[in-house]
Amino acid sequence: DAGITQSPRHKVTETGTPVTLRCHQTENHRYMYWYRQDPGHGLRLIHYSYGVKDTDKGEVSDGYSVSRSKTEDFLLTLESATSSQTSVYFCAIRPRDYTEQFFGPGTRLTVL
């Protein structure tokens, strides 16, 4: 298995609070991604990173920010969580172009 972990695995929070999800890899892979999974939508890309301090937006980036100060960590922050951000969040890593992605175990976030 690719060395990729996500924390926390489950979180319940209230509307308006900030939330940070962490993705950690031990593979030294270049690319890291954050997706959200919602019924009827499959996997939608939030943000991704192609190197330390290099990030770009995905399809559904509004309300989310990311940071990657080290190769191994990619943080996803919800500055002020809303109920529409209740979802399962998956992190993925990839060594380079044309290669498969390896997914983390997911984080289930509930915003009340």
Q: Which residues bind other proteins (CB under 8 A)?
A: 31, 33, 35, 40-45, 48, 50, 56, 58-59, 90, 94, 97-106
CA contacts within 13 A on the Cβ side of 22 = 10
Smallest gap from residue 31 Cβ to other proteins (A): 6
CA 51/CA 80 separation, integer angstroms: 26
Instruction: Write the DSSP symbol of residue 3.
Output: -
| Residue placing its CB nearer to other proteins in the complex, 31 or 64 | 31
| Residue placing its CB nearer to other proteins in the complex, 53 or 98 | 98
Smallest gap from residue 55 Cβ to other proteins (A): 11
